[in-house]
Structure 1
Amino acid sequence: MTDRGYRPTPILIETDLCDDVDDAGAIAVAHALADRGLVEILGIGINTSGHWSHSAARVLNDYYGRAEIPVGIRHPITDEIGPEDYARAISRMHPHAATPDVMPDAVAVLREALAGADDGTVTVVSIGYFGNLVALLDTPADALSALSGRELVAAKVARAVVMGGVFGTRARPDLGAEPLAETNFAHEPGHTARFLAEWPSPVDFVGWETAADVITGRTLSATQGDDSPVAIAYSLHSGKGIGRPSWDLLAVMLAAGELDGRVAWSGPGTVSLDEAAGTLWAPSASGRHRYAVTVVGPEDLSGLIDDHLGRPPLAGAWGAIRQETELDAWH
């Protein structure tokens, strides 16, 4: 049971953990929510192909004492690193990181997690690109489940929470707005368009505008210590004490229901892309989509998110792991 008195929400995290550090922050927040009993992390899918991202996710799982959480990566695997790389650095904090030849395919990890879940219970948290989720829809029945990917998602997933798009008046061409492209939507627009059109469950969107001014992570070195892989990731990416907008972290918090009263939802509608991957929003009573609207100031949201981002692990093997590594080179 949770600290709110009911069962944790099973979540699957889909992340592009390679460039912007808010992906690492979102995984940290998910573990803090799991420590409170609010979520159960069923698995993590990496929707980029650089093997450092897979290893970095495993380091974060180990740090929070959940090394058993399966992590899959988009195949074929490469040696790619992001232009603002931190994943490679924190990967090298673990002496037993997996080699690329044994890193499982993310779609297989997603299928296995869904096959073992109760019907209508799983929340998919998408904080990156959509290639894995579209590939999941296209999978046939197999030894894990007699259901196709599309059928499996329809049966098991209660909703998806997606960081992506730009909403409000910016997504209303009928009001004279010029839609803006957002990175997660624009990176692989073909996959994005298919996800928007074909994903069977309701989808809640966290737009760029929702968290651009919600800065978190400034105090990580104080709350977790300089040897924390989360603090190191933020320091390498943004500089110590600088922080970063909370796009992906906000999505994870919303998936756990932790921002009720601080974030509201639009009415129903349908999200699509224009020819330049800009976000289009069409209100519709029968739509399966809605988007987040903040009703408090950014400082209020930052404080609550930082409370989770900065929480040290409750338990784990990190002390033993740390003795086997030389972290000073990565400070």
Structure 2
Amino acid sequence: MNSLIIDTDFETDCDDAGALAVACALADAGRIRLLGVNASICSPWPAAAVRGFLQVFGRPELPVGCNRSRQDTEEYRRHASRSSGLLYPREVVRSVSPCVAGRNRLPDSCAFYRRLLEAAPDRSVTVCAIGLLTSIAELFLSGGGELFRRKVKRLVTMAEAPFPEGADCFNWRMGPLAAETVLNRFRGELVVSSWGKSVMTSAAHCPAGERGDLLRLIYRISGSGDPEYRRSSWDQLAVLYAAGELSDLMVPGPEGKLHFEAATGRHRWTPGDGKAVFLHPAASDEKLARLVQEWMDRACTSYSGITSKRF
């Protein structure tokens, strides 16, 4: 069973919420040991929304990290500003419970990582980063790189990064210095999960109840109010692979070395010395979508509460 930490931006796209729901369902089914969730955006709202989300999905005790110190890039701030009507964290907090908004209740991301990793056996943790690599880079730059390398056996990073070289569309591009720090310094198993754009899923028909209603709220906001909004499933596929659930459906390519250059925003994979691999689909988009949808639905059916009117 994989011990998993999820690192998410949880702000500008709803597939983060779908992925977190999938992770909770995997943990409920005994497929993973979910250690904690870090919110990488420098704002109290994504972390507070993660905490509220976990409260609804039956894991109020799960550690949540909050990026308090590592400022977002100007490019990310412009993107968030342009997408202001599609951001869901504040609405999640208001809908679930205002008390989860207390920023000081949540540890800083570096303290979060140190606490979880120091308690873990060596090479026992998988980190699945479905957002920017900001918090992991901050840990590296604050003297925690050796701890991360010793405890983390695999880092799965979701990025729309073409193989073997090119430029990522979002997660690395929005935090290039962070991506350079982590991708060029981590020497463990590095998995780039870039597939999912054409794997479309939705929260529209997830089972009724508090969990399904919250997921629908998030997808509806991200979809400009469309209750049937369907979205790409990049993050869900990354989480499923990190959990060991896609061994026959997403396959790693050959090992090699990955280098990222912050100044240009470009990466290059070269064969040979290194443990970096890119995932490639071994199943149709439709089959992958069915699997993702099944886990999203399962996440919403494992709660026995009555239908909520809050969302």
TM-score range, shorter chain: 0.7 to 0.9
Q: Normalising to structure 2: TM-score of the pair? A: 0.88
| C-alpha deviation, 1:195, in angstroms | 0.8
2:29 match: 36
2:60 match: 67
Q: What are the ranges of 5 or more consecutive residues in structure 2 without an aligned counterpart?
A: 72-76
Taking only the aligned residue pairs, the percentage that are identical comes to 27
Number of residue-to-residue matches in the alignment: 296
1:151 alignment partner AA: E
CA distance in 2 between partners of 1:161 and 1:136 (Å): 17
Per-residue CA deviation, residues 213-251 of structure 1 (Å, 9 max, x unaligned), is 001125444465786211210111122222110111110
| 2:226 is the alignment partner of 1:243 | no
RMSD across aligned positions (CA): 2.3
Written as runs of structure 1 = structure 2, the 5 A alignment for 1:113-124 is 113-124=116-127
8 A contact 2:110–2:139 mirrored in 1:
yes
1:91 alignment partner AA: V
Q: What are the ranges of 5 or more consecutive residues in structure 1 without an aligned counterpart?
A: 1-7, 141-148, 173-178
Per-residue CA deviation, residues 105-158 of structure 1 (Å, 9 max, x unaligned), is 011111101111122111000111112101212334xxxxxxxx2222222111
1:5 match: none
1:135 match: 138
1:26 match: 19
CA distance in 1 between partners of 2:211 and 2:150 (Å): 43
2:74 match: none
2:88 match: 86
CA distance in 2 between partners of 1:65 and 1:222 (Å): 16
Tell me which of 266, 271, 279 is aligned to 1:283. 271
1:104 match: 107
1:53 match: 46
8 A contact 2:52–2:92 mirrored in 1:
yes
2:228 alignment partner AA: G
2:88 alignment partner AA: Y
CA distance in 1 between partners of 2:28 and 2:211 (Å): 21
Q: Normalising to structure 1: TM-score of the pair? A: 0.83
1:144 match: none
| Residues 189 and 101 (structure 1), Cα distance of their counterparts in 2 relative to 1, 3 Å cut | same
Tell me which of 13, 32, 46 is aligned to 2:6. 13
Per-residue CA deviation, residues 65-119 of structure 1 (Å, 9 max, x unaligned), is 11000111111499x8662201111111222213123332011111101111122
8 A contact 1:219–1:310 mirrored in 2:
no
